[in-house]
Structure 1
Amino acid sequence: MDENLKKIIPFGLKYKKDIVLNIVFNIFYALFSTLLMVSLIPTLNVIFGLNEKITSKPVFNGIENIKSFSENYLNYKVTQLTTDFGFEFAILFVISIIIITALLKNISNYFASYHVTRLRNGVLKDLREKLYNVIINLPVSFYSERRKGDVMSRMLGDVNEVKNSFFQVLELVVREPLTILFSIATMFIISAKLTLFVFIFIPLSGFVISKVGKNLKAKSTKAQEENGIQISILEETLSGLKVVKGYNAENIFISKFNKSLNQLLRISNSIENRNNLASPLSEFLGIVTIAVLLWYGAQLVVVEQSLLPTTFITYIALSYTILTPAKAISRASYTVKIGLAAAERVFEVLETESNVVEKPNALIKNTFDKSIKIKNVNFRYEDEYVLKNFSLDIVKGKTIALVGQSGSGKSTIANLLTRFYDANEGTIEIDDTNIKDWNLKSLRSLMGLVTQDSILFNDTIKNNILIGKPDATDEEIIDALKVANAYEFVNDLPNGIETNIGDAGGKLSGGQKQRLSIARAVLKNPPIMILDEATSALDTESEKLVQIALENMMQNRTSIVIAHRLSTIQKADVIFVMQKGEIVEHGTHSELLAKEGTYAKLVMMQSFE
C-alpha cells in the first residue's frame, strides 16, 4: 500500500460509520445491478413463450440447487398467473420484478453516495483544519524559504484533490469490483464454458490499461507545483500592485504568469489525455471481448443448442454491464494516482518539524521581574553571520535603543527575543532563565511588537486591536486608541471602531495604520515592548504623532527600540551602536555625540539629509 494512502486512513477512520454504511450500500448496489440483468431472463421467456409450464410448487433442496429452484419457482408463478389472470397479468408481474430491482439498486446508490459524501467532506474539513494549525504554528523561518503561494496551493488545491480522488478508492475496492464479481458469478451459473472463454481476454485488457497510466503521479506532482507558482505570482502581484503599476511593470508580470500558465497547460493536457484514454480504451477492449462472445455464444445457441437464446441475450447484457465498472476502475485508478501526488505535497507540510521547539514542561510565567540578558550570541540566516559574539544586558524598566546602518543586525535581535528564530550559538535569558526553557505563549505574552510594516487585517478597527486582548471592552479599546494618539481620527470615521479598514488597512494612511498597531500593543499591556523601525516608513508629520504615541506607550515599561531614524531614540537610557553584527559604541545620546565616533557621524549624516 502507498505510504500516503496509509497516512489518509486515520483521517477516514473518524468517519468509520459512514465507511461501513457506504460499503454495505455498495454491496447492495452491486447485487441489485446483477439481479436487474438477471430479471430480464423471465421477462424475455414470457414474451417469447419459452418459459417452462410448471403447475406444482417446487421444493427447495439446498443452496447447490438454487439456480434450478429459482427458475422453477418463477416459472410456477408465471404459469399460475397466466392460468388465473391471463398473459397480460403475467407479463406485468415479471416487468414489476425489473422495476422493483431497479428501484432498490438506485436507492442503494443514493445512500452509498450520501455516506461517501459525508466522509469526503469530513476528511476535507479535518485535513484543512490540521494543515492550517500546522501552517500557523510553523516558525517564521519556514516561510522565508518558501513561496507563500505554494503553501496556499497545498492548503486549497491539493487538499481538494485528495478529497475528490482518494475516496474513489471505496468505489474502486467495493462497488465496482463487486459488480464485476456478482456479474461474473452469475455468468458462470448461466454458462461456465462461455465465461472461462472470456477470462482469456481480461489480463490482456488490464495490462494495456496499466501501461497508459504509467508516470501519471509524477506528472501530477509537476502540475500541482506549477499551480503553486501561479498562486505565488498572483499573491505577489496583488500585494505589490502599487509597485507593479508605478513602474509600468504589468507586462513583466503578465509574461511571468503566462509562462507558468503555458507550462501548466502542457502538463495538464498530457495528464488529461492519458486520463481520457482510459474510458474509451477499456470500453473498446470490452466490446472486442463481447464480439468474441457473440461468435462463441452463437456456436452454443445454434450449433450445440446448450443455451437458450433469451439466456444468451441476458448473458451478453451482463457481460456489457461489466464494462461500466471496468471503465470506472480504470478512470478511478488514474485519479487516485493524481490524488497520491497531491497527498504527498499535503503531508510534506503536515510532517514538517519546527526548528523552534518548545520543551516538555516548559516554564509558564506571566511576569517579568529583573532583566533580559543576551550572552555571546552568534546567528546567521544563511552562510554569513548577522550577529557575532553579541552580548547585551537590559534591566527592567529601562529603554535601550539599537541603531546602525541597514544590515547591521538590529532587527535580528527582535526576531531572536520573540523566538521567531533561535540563535546558532549563545543564550538569551529572561529573569535568568534561557528563553528556550520558556513556554512559547508565556514568552510572547510578555512582549508587545510594533514593526516597520503595520500588519493589519481586513476587518474592523475594533477586531484588529482586539488581537492584543480578545476579551477587552470597548472602553479599554478607546483608552488604548487615546494612548496611541489614534482616537481622534478613529472617532471621525463613519462607524468609529466598527469601521472596516480594508485589505491590509488599505483605507488608512501609513501614520494611521502605525498608530493602530501601537494601540494593539498598548491594549495587550506587556511589560516588554519591542519597536522595530516603528517610524521609518512615515512622513515627518506622521512621525511626530507616532513618536508621541510611542512615548506614551513606553512609560513604565522595558523598551527595546530598533531605529534607523535617530531623532526617535534621543531619550533612551542607553543607545547601542551596531556595525556588522557587533556593538561598536554605547552610551546616552549626549555621551555618544561627545565621543565623535560612529554615532556622531550617523547623526551628522541624517541632519545633513
Structure 2
Amino acid sequence: MEYFKKILRFANPYKKYAFLNIIANVLYALFSTLAMLSLFPMLTVLFKQTEAVTEKPIWTGIGDVQKYLDSYLNYYVTENLSEDQGQLLMTMVALVIGMFFLKNLFGYLAMYFITFLRNGVLKDLRNALYAKTIDLPIGFYSEKRKGDTIARITSDVLEIQHSFLSILELIVREPLTIVFTIIAMVALSPKLTLFVFIFLPLSGFLISLIGKSLKRKSDRVQKEQGYFLSILEETLGGLRVIKAFNAEVRFNSIFQKSTSRFYRFSNSLLNRQNLASPSSEFLGITVIGILLWYGGRMVLVEKSLEASVFITYMGLAYQILTPAKAISKASYGVKKGNAAAERVLEILETENPIVEKKEAVVKPTFDKGIEINGVSFKYEDEYVLKNFNLKVPKGKTVALVGQSGSGKSTIANLMTRFYDVNEGEIKIDGVDIRDFTKNSLRNLMGLVTQDSILFNDTVKNNIGLGKENAKEEDVIEAAKIANAHDFISELPLGYNTNIGDSGNKLSGGQKQRLSIARAVLKNPPIMILDEATSALDTESERLVQDALEKMMQNRTSIVIAHRLSTIQNADTIVVLQKGEIVEQGSHSQLMDKNGVYKKLVTMQSF
C-alpha cells in the first residue's frame, strides 16, 4: 500500500470527483440492500402471509427490527389494500422496480465521477513522468534502455490505472454494500448470520493464498516488455545497418526470444490472476449451499423461520458474493499494480545530480570570457579529464583536437552542464557556471553536434526550436547564413515541408546545415561545435564550413574537430591526449614545434 499512497497524491486536484463518487457509492450500497429487501413484502403478499393489524406498530429498537417490519407491512396491507389484491401487488412491484432503479442510477453516477479522477490521474502521472524524463541528466540514460523508459510511461502507467485506480471504485462501494447487507441479514435472522461468519473467514484465507506471488510475476512481465520495446527502438534506429550486414535473422531471434519469455511470464501471471474470480465465486457458492441446508432446516424442520424471510435472506447472502469477488480481484490488482507503481516511482523519485542552487542567478549576457580551472572528470571509474585548464577570451575561437577518447566532447558536455565536474570549476565572466540557472546558462550557448538531431516536423519548426514564435523572415535569414535557404526553397512545401523521422528525407549535409541554422537563429554569444563536419562529404563540408565561419563571426567559439583542415584559422588550438593538454598555440606555432599536432596533420594529409 506504500506505492498506492504515493500514487494517490496525483488524485488531489480531482478530489471533488472523489467526494461525489463516495456520495454516489454510499447511496448505491444503501439502495442495493434496500432493493433486495424490497422483495420481502412482495413475497409475503404472494405467500399470503400478511395478518390483519389495525394499530400502527411502535419502534422499540434495532433488536426488534424484523418484528417491526413484519407488523408495519401487515398494518399497511390491512389499512390500505386488504380488499384489492391486484393493487397491492402492483404497489409491491413498483417498490421493487423503484429500489433497483435508484441502485443503478447511483451506480452509474459513481462510475461517471470516478472516470474524471482516473483519467486525470493518468494524464498527470504521464505528464510528470515525461517532465522528469526531460529533466534527468543525459548520464541517466546511458545506463537505461530507452524502450524500458517508454514502457514505464505507457504500459506501466496503464497498469496503474487498471489496478490501483480501479480500487478507488471499490474502497467505498463494495465494503459498504457488504456492511449494509450484513446489517439487513442480522435483522432478518441473527442465528443464520452467525452461521455465515463461521465460513466466510475461511474462504477469505484460501483466496488470499492465490495472490501472494502476483507482484513478482507482474514485475517480470513489465521488465520483459521494456526489454522487447528497447529491441524494437534499436531496430528502427539501426535498420540500415541491420540490412547491410544481413543481421535480420539475428535480430529476429533476439526479439522472438524476448516475446517468448513475455508469453510464458504473461501466461503464468494471467492464469494466477484469473483464478481469483472463479475461486472466490466457488467458495461463496459453497457457503450459500451450506446456508441452504441450514436455513432449509429452520424453515421446514424447526419451523423457526418463514419461507419469505428465508428467500429474501438468501438473496442478500448471494448479493455479498459480487462485492466480495470484486474486493478479492482488486486485492490481486494491488499486488500486480505494485510492480508497475514501483517502476514508475523509480523514475519520479530519482534525484537529479545536476542540481540548481536555490540562490542561482540569471546570466543574461556574456561579457569577458570563459575559464576552465583545474577540471577533472570521470563518467565511471577512470578520469576522462585530468587537471584541465583553459581560457577562452570573448570573441576568440579555440579549437580542441586529439584522438578519440581524449576528452574533447566531454568539455562540451561540462560547459553546457549536461554533467557536473568532479573537481575544479568552469567560470563565465569570473562566476562558476553552477551559480547560474541552467536555463540562462544554456541560453548563452549554441550547440552543433556531429549527429544532426532533428525532429519529425517542418523545416521551419526545426530551425525555430530554440526561439519561441520566431518570425518567418528571421528563420529565412538564419537559413541563408547556414547555406540552407537554396535547398529548402526547392522542397515541395519549402519551409513548411515535413522532414521525416530524424530528418531522414534530407541528406547528411542538408541536415547539418539545418542544425547550424537552428543555432544561428538562437543567436547565442557562445558557440560550441562538436565535430560538426566530420560526417560529411567534401562538397557538403565546404558548404557547412562556410556556414560555420559566417556563424562564428563576432562570437566566442569552442570547436571540437577531427578534421584539422577545418580549424587552421582558430586563434588557439589545444591538443589533448588522454584527458590532458600536451600542446597549445596557433596552427603555425604548433607546426613549428614539430610535435603531436604536426603528426596529426601529417597523418590526415595522406
The equivalent residue for 2:140 is 142
The equivalent residue for 2:7 is 8
Q: Pairwise mapping of residues 95-494 of structure 1 onto structure 2 (< 5 A)?
A: 95-494=93-492
Aligned with 2:496 (options 489, 493, 498): 498
1:141-160 deviation digits (Å, cap 9, x = unpaired): 11111111111111111112
Number of matched pairs: 606
Asked whether the 8 Å contact 1:454–1:513 carries over to 2, the reply is: yes
TM-score (norm 2): 0.97
Equivalent residue letter for 1:440? K
Q: Pairwise mapping of residues 10-29 of structure 1 onto structure 2 (< 5 A)?
A: 10-29=9-28
Asked whether the 8 Å contact 1:23–1:170 carries over to 2, the reply is: no
1:36-78 deviation digits (Å, cap 9, x = unpaired): 1111111122222222233454455566654434333333333
Equivalent residue letter for 2:352? S
Moved more, 504-513 or 2-11: 2-11
> Separation in 2 of the partners of 1:252 and 1:426?
46
Asked whether the 8 Å contact 1:372–1:394 carries over to 2, the reply is: yes
Equivalent residue letter for 1:51? T
Three-state SS of the structure 2 residue aligned to 1:305 is: coil
CA shift at 1:471, angstroms?
2.7
CA shift at 1:274, angstroms?
1.2
Three-state SS of the structure 2 residue aligned to 1:353 is: coil
1:268-306 deviation digits (Å, cap 9, x = unpaired): 111111111111111111111111111111221112211
Three-state SS of the structure 2 residue aligned to 1:15 is: helix
Asked whether the 8 Å contact 1:120–1:164 carries over to 2, the reply is: no
Equivalent residue letter for 1:49? K
Three-state SS of the structure 2 residue aligned to 1:507 is: coil
Asked whether the 8 Å contact 1:153–1:227 carries over to 2, the reply is: yes
Moved more, 593-602 or 479-488: 593-602
CA shift at 1:9, angstroms?
2.7
Q: Pairwise mapping of residues 436-585 of structure 1 onto structure 2 (< 5 A)?
A: 436-585=434-583
The equivalent residue for 2:37 is 38
Three-state SS of the structure 2 residue aligned to 1:269 is: helix
Equivalent residue letter for 1:75? N
Equivalent residue letter for 2:532? A
Three-state SS of the structure 2 residue aligned to 1:165 is: helix
Q: 1:318 to 1:62 in 2, by over 3 A?
A: closer
CA shift at 1:578, angstroms?
1.1
The equivalent residue for 1:78 is 77
Computed over aligned residues only, the root mean square deviation of the Cα atoms, in angstroms, reads 1.5
Equivalent residue letter for 2:571? D
TM-score (norm 1): 0.97
Aligned-residue identity in percent? 62
> Separation in 1 of the partners of 2:80 and 2:317?
31
Moved more, 444-453 or 251-260: 251-260
> Separation in 2 of the partners of 1:505 and 1:208?
59
CA shift at 1:241, angstroms?
1.2
1:357-377 deviation digits (Å, cap 9, x = unpaired): 111111211111111111111
> Separation in 1 of the partners of 2:229 and 2:522?
35
CA shift at 1:410, angstroms?
0.6
Equivalent residue letter for 1:176? E
Asked whether the 8 Å contact 1:400–1:576 carries over to 2, the reply is: yes
Structure 1's unaligned 5+ residue stretches are none
